[in-house]
Amino acid sequence: MINEQRLFSLIEYFFKEPSGVLKELAQNATRAGASRFGVTYDNGILTVEDNGAGIADPRSLLVLAESDWSDEVEKDQNPAGWGLFFLYCMSDSIELTSRFGTLKMDCDRFLKDAAYREGVLAAVDAGAASEGFSIRAEIKSGVRDGILKESVTASLGWFPLDVTVNGEKIARNSIDAEKYDIVTAYEGNDVYIKAKDIGGQDQFALGLFVNWYGFGINPRGWRSWDVAIDVKKGAPLTPVLPYRSEVKNDDKLKKFHAFVEKKLAEYVLNRLNSLDDKAYAEFAGNALIAVTRKNDILGLQNVLINHGVQEDVDRLERFVVRINEPFYSNSIRDDYNVTYAVASRKNPEILIETLSVEGTAFFLPDGADVMTEEDEDLEYCVFLPSGVIKRALIPSKLPGWVRVKEVNKTLTIVTEGPCHDGTMKWQKATLRMDDGSTLNSLVYSESSYSGNEWVFYAQDPSGAWNELENVFSAHYYSEDGNDYDTQRDSFVADIERDITDITGCYSLLKLLNGFRDVRVDPYTIRRIEIEGGEGNKTVKVTTDKEVFAFNAA
């Protein structure tokens, strides 16, 4: 049961965006087979005309959720029968003219007075008939400013109509096929697909553009869509009524998403296998090329992994993996520092290196002699120079012909002399890999100023600066603290103080930096002499080229 009177009295609250009524009326014109659609709006009077088939029976204009369209339109487009009621809700009065004649009515009375509504058909003037369909509506004062919204009038260009608004022709819109990698058809409708990750079904629905018989459905309001479908036949998707501002997440969308995934997989597989060895060699060997071509190779490969099936991935001739250095930096790294490796059917091996550290009992909390890959948070504690440990990052799908090889490397720490306890603990040591090579430095840091932070160095403690920079980024810098530069300056000052204490060597610049105030370069100073008594001194400075004398108090 439906309370008709209450429904009609509340119906105005079902609609929003007054300008949206223009799309509803253009959609009706399209369904009626019109080729022209004209809109005139001036001083609160909206006039709309089309040259479609028109209407012989006015009853369909006055019954909510009822329409008089052809069986094909009813089947394919599922018209809601709400469009004209949208206009009734925002009008004081309206005049409708078509093959049945002309009907004038008071919109408020029609919606709120049942007796008026039941007798309104008696007001039809059959002698004032015309071809097509025309409307003259007096818009309510409260919504008049929202009728000709630019974005909506422009969207009328999606309809297969010659549209004019106040005499100005609206440009026809179309999906630019040249911007898409794949142009295909789905259930008789043109489909346009970019070769990129389209996400799962929910994300896919948000990024999809649907031209639904001229009614543009674009949830995010973007002008660049990953996938677009121009629906002119059938009902391949389900627009959500009454506004058709989104597509329903149902079995139809699921089926279409699977179709797009299949087309993506076919395209990407063919494109990647068409590249030669040289293209892949350049990608793997040059960081700059890797960045600029990432979307051409790695990006496409990720599309295949995410949207293809295992059999699709197995058909690849080559496979790219990203190479990570887990013990070099735990922070977010620039693309230009990322390296890649390429496996092929001729060379199918992908290397994963792990690390064990021996001789670490003095800084491990549990006193263990060996730190293995299985130890919790190892990768977030040990910082090595770049290039020591490299590891391929294995994606969710690998070609069946790829062979993953795991190699464990052992680093042995042999300490020399006493430990210096400063901001960090500093220990001279021999750092030897199991292949006989040696490292200049290693930093162990559990977290910011935890008290268990070690710097191991072979000769010069300042040789650990690269690793210490990574420690700062990973463990010390806090977004909740001061700005990055302030925090880094404080960290650098602490480390420089430690290094000075260890080496006994002070920075010449820091010792003599005050001479910059009198335009003397500290690095050119060879001798400093101070003469005179308290409060009356002369400072004589000899540089590489000249001698300066300054009075000083």
Average pLDDT, the chain: 86
CA 451 to chain centre: 40
Mean pLDDT of 193-211: 91
- CB-neighbour burial class of residue 347 (10 A; exposed 0-12, middle 13-18, buried 19+): exposed
Q: pLDDT grade, residue 362 (50/70/90)? A: low
Q: What is the pLDDT of residue 46?
A: 96
The pLDDT score that the predictor gives to residue 122 is: 94
Whether residue 210 is predicted with pLDDT greater than 60 in this model: the reply is yes
Check residue 295 and give its pLDDT.
Answer: 55
Let me know the angle formed at the C-alpha of 152 by 151 and 156, rounded to the nearest 5 degrees.
Answer: 115
Res. 222 pLDDT band, cuts 50 70 90:
low
* Residue extents of the structural domains in the chain: 4-169, 177-268, 275-503, 511-552
β-partners of residue 163 are 37
Each residue's pLDDT tens digit, 262-289? 999 999 999 999 988 888 877 665 554 5
Nearby residues of 89 by Cβ (< 8 Å), 6 or more positions away: 11, 12, 14, 15, 107, 111
Phi, psi of 404, rounded to the nearest 5 degrees: -95, 120
Q: Tell me: the pLDDT tens digits for 442-472? A: 998 877 666 778 999 999 999 999 899 888 9
Nearest C-alpha neighbor of 427 from the set 459, 466, 400: 459
Question: For position 367, what pLDDT does the model report?
Answer: 42
Neighbours of 529 (CB within 10 A): 11
More confident residue, 243 or 55: 55
Architecture of the structural domain at 4-169: 2-Layer Sandwich (3.30)
- Type and span of the H or E element at 89: helix 83-89
Task: Read off the pLDDT of residues 23-75 as tens digits, 9 standing for 90 and up.
Answer: 989 999 999 999 999 999 999 999 999 999 999 999 988 887 566 666 676 66
Give pLDDT, residue 78. 63
